[in-house]
Structure 1
């Protein structure tokens, strides 16, 4: 493995490239400590020490610090660590570490998210939000089914009726106006079945 370049990343750190590819970020003091410079060959032992002893420990601490401030999904935390310039092996080990202590748990995250938003957002919108956060679709469906099992559409029905009131909906409205409101509700993620039912109740 040849170090092809060592470039300043910011005032404190340098990006090290090995065989033409980004390898890792190190503090400038660490660059000096391991005597890394462009054109030199880096042996496997030195590489492993840097990745395992320095960067993996740092990635674990970074993951812990991030999770202390707020909850993350595995996908979003992986993204955050990747943005920090950690090599993949260090990211993978950091993720496994925080998962082993239940600091990171996609099931818990999704359950908390559904319970928090089920009174204010449609089921479809919640599902889309969780997919964007990298939660597995099957897990989302399982948790939605579990959390909504005793609800029978009641929460969404109340949300639709609230929105209809905000839009001053009435049975006297022209058809075109009704269509606009229905389209607005549909874009919010509510099913047409519930929209029609809520409109009937308002009328």
Structure 2
């Protein structure tokens, strides 16, 4: 072989070297692109996780808001019910376990005019309670000053300008000037005065005196008390 031929041969890269370079380049590219792909994949996963966390927090906040609103509605409903119950208890019937007898406006020989109250038929000695809180303005025999037909009687003045009267009592347990609360014991029922049998005569008045009575059943009904 000539020297020229030898020289040319020596400058030509061998196939094995070329193949090695290509493989190396390929591996390098693969490594580079693989790393980039992995980086991109990691970034996407982190973004998805952040979105999921944000959505979860938003869902929790919405759920909490819904629960809070529900709790507020329930609290408001309870408050309203309590207020209604309190209002209903602000007045009450003057006796328990009774039978209604003569009603308001009834005519008859027993009254100079029409019946001025509602009669509750109860045994003598039945506890009589204040129908509403107030101050005693009349208490004693002779209807507390309204006349002998009422027997022993009490009249209570209430803060709304109305008066309640309790008559035919066997015993009076309060004095003029006393302040009483709703449901407080004020007397025992009886059969005194112009009475055909044991009962409590009950009136609602616009003044403390006879002649100013209004229908007590209708009044109590307006105060959420049904008898």
| TM-score normalised by the chain length of structure 1 | 0.22
What TM-score results when the alignment is normalised by the length of structure 2?
0.20
**Structure with the greater alpha carbon radius of gyration:** 2
Higher strand fraction (1 or 2):
2
Query: Could you say which structure has the higher helix fraction?
Result: 1
Higher relative contact order (CA 8 A, sep 6+): 2
